[in-house]
Amino acid sequence: VKCSEARFSLAADPSNIDAGVAEHLDACEPCASYARDMLMLDGRLREAMNVSAPEIALPAGPHVVASSPPRRPVLRQFALAASVAGVALLVGMLWIGVPRQSLASAVVEHMAHEPDAWEQTELMSVDSIASVLARSGVKVRDGMPGISYASSCWFRGRHVPHLVVQTPSGPVTVMVLPDEQVAGRVAFAEAGYRGVLVPAQRGSIAVVVRGATDADAVASQALAAIAYVD
Amino acid sequence: LDPRRRRFERLCEPLRADLFRFAFWLARDRSVAEDVVQETLLRAWRSLEALTDDNSVKPWLLTIARREHARLHERKRLVTVDVDTLATVEDPALGRSDDHESGDVHAAILALPDEYREPLVLQVLMGYSTDEIATHLGLTNGAVLTRLCRARQKLRAVVLSRAEEEM
């Protein structure tokens, strides 16, 4: 175990070191000192994270659900239905008036929150990719090599696959968005990134690149490689 | 009390404080955290039958809380606040505002990017293993280790610079 490996392991999980790191610490005083620092830091973190919690009451849910509620007179039921329809119409009108963040902006914003994703260059194994993507009901067929990052991310109300693919001109983000419909190919440029949204078998696929990377080529590759699991 | 209510109270009551702390470090705001906990408990109550293994109650609640926080964030488009302002506003949350050293660490945790802070809280405060964090966040184990490593490196740098200032 090298010093850099030992320190990575210590910083990631100082309370749980393996035999190789332990052996290294016996022979390397600077790393042993680093290990002590990390354990001390964890103690301080635990203390700082332990914020005071207010008394929050448990919800007083219904104890017994009536199996057959008493019938209401017809007129009252009609009045209730009319009120519900009126409220629904009002809510609908208000909802239409609420500006929603564009899909392209949301994709770029999400990507910007995961800066590590683009920094990883080591390719993932097929099994690891399959295991992560299965959580979002998606799998990748053969024909999409170079995946260095795969995550099932919470995005606009559901978990979606977030991939980073290594290409000769740099890393590319691919997000599979089964619930986001687009009428046709949409090119966008946001916050220094370029990308395309393309319609897919379910919803759409977003591809985000930097520099001169060809987003359309990666989008075509992704469309061919992504399969949806029922 | 009916058995369903008894089960709910037995499982959820002891975890309320942890749930709040987790929500607080996600939201970095006490009132938002309280909303998240209320919503989480309400959803947990409604879908109690979905919890088939009582031993899994903690990850089950934390997963609901994480989802509720994301939902609230999406719905309200929560305003971004400067971290220094946040540290000042949230000072009472420390419960020890006269302790500068602890306040520095608290502020440094608040300043961490979300993707570093959440796995760190799960590991340090909730006692999750890196495998459990990976499952909870839908990440690979390698990605979790990298985030935890970077989080601690950032925090260590803050603590060391503070120590140097005091010398």
CB-based contact A61 B46, cutoff 8 Å: yes
User: What pLDDT score does A99 carry?
Assistant: 39
pLDDT exceeds cutoff 90 at B152: yes
Q: How far apart are CA A129 and CA A1, in angstroms?
A: 27
Nearest-Cα residue of chain B relative to residue A132: B138
Could you tell me where the DSSP H helices lie in A50-157? 74-97, 103-112, 116-119, 126-134
Name the residue among B45, B60, B34, B64 with its Cα closest to residue B7.
B45
Q: Give the gap in angstroms from C-alpha A109 to the nearest C-alpha of chain B.
A: 12
pLDDT exceeds cutoff 50 at B95: no
CA dihedral B33, B35, B41, B44 (to 10 degrees): -100
Phi and psi, residue A195, nearest 5°: -175, 175
Q: Give the list of residues 6+ apart from residue B82 with CB closer than 8 angstroms, or none.
A: none
Mapped onto helix, strand or coil, the DSSP state of residue A176 is strand
Estimate to the nearest angstrom the gap between the alpha carbon of A25 and the chain centroid: 36
Band the pLDDT of A8: cuts 50, 70, 90: very high
Residues of B whose CB is below 8 A from A56: 16, 20, 34, 37-38, 41
User: What pLDDT score does A125 carry?
Assistant: 79
pLDDT exceeds cutoff 70 at B164: yes
User: What pLDDT score does A4 carry?
Assistant: 94
CB contact A42 to B (< 8 Å): yes
User: What pLDDT score does A6 carry?
Assistant: 94
- ipTM beyond 0.90? no
Q: How far apart are CA B148 and CA B159, in angstroms?
A: 16
User: What pLDDT score does B38 carry?
Assistant: 92
Chain A with chain B: Cβ pairs closer than 8 A = 139
Q: Which residue is listed with tokens 């691919």? A: A174
- Mutation target to probe the B interface, by most B beta carbons within 10 A, among A7, A45, A153 is A45
User: What pLDDT score does B117 carry?
Assistant: 96
**Per mean pLDDT, which range of A16-25, A57-66, A209-218 is the poorest?**
A57-66
DSSP state, residue A203:
S
CA distances from A186 to A196, A216, B70 (A): 5, 10, 26
CB-based contact B113 A113, cutoff 8 Å: yes
Higher pLDDT, B152 or A113: B152
- Mutation target to probe the A interface, by most A beta carbons within 10 A, among B91, B124, B149, B161 is B124
What is the average pLDDT score of chain B? 85
Nearest-Cα residue of chain B relative to residue A159: B138
**Got the DSSP string for A11-77?**
HH-TT---HHHHHHHHH-HHHHHHHHHHHHHHHHHHHHH-------PPP---SS--SSPPPPPHHHH
Band the pLDDT of A226: cuts 50, 70, 90: confident
Highest mean pLDDT among A210-224, B16-30, B96-110: B16-30
CB count, 10 Å around CB of A159?
16
Task: Return the percentage of chain B with pLDDT > 70, whole number.
Answer: 81
pLDDT exceeds cutoff 90 at A167: no
**Got the DSSP string for B48-109?**
GGG---GGGHHHHHHHHHHHHHHHHHHHHTPPP--HHHHHHHTHHHHS-TT-HHHHHHHHHH
From the list A8, A114, A149, the residue facing B115 with the nearest CB is A114
CB-based contact B20 A11, cutoff 8 Å: no
Band the pLDDT of B64: cuts 50, 70, 90: very high
Interfacial A residues in 61-80 facing B (CB < 8 Å) = 61, 63-64
CB-based contact B16 A61, cutoff 8 Å: no
CB-based contact B152 A41, cutoff 8 Å: yes
pLDDT tens for A57-115 read 887 754 433 333 334 444 555 566 666 666 655 555 554 444 345 788 778 877 776 66
Residues of A whose CB is below 8 A from B12: 58
What is the average pLDDT score of chain A? 78
CB-based contact B2 A64, cutoff 8 Å: yes
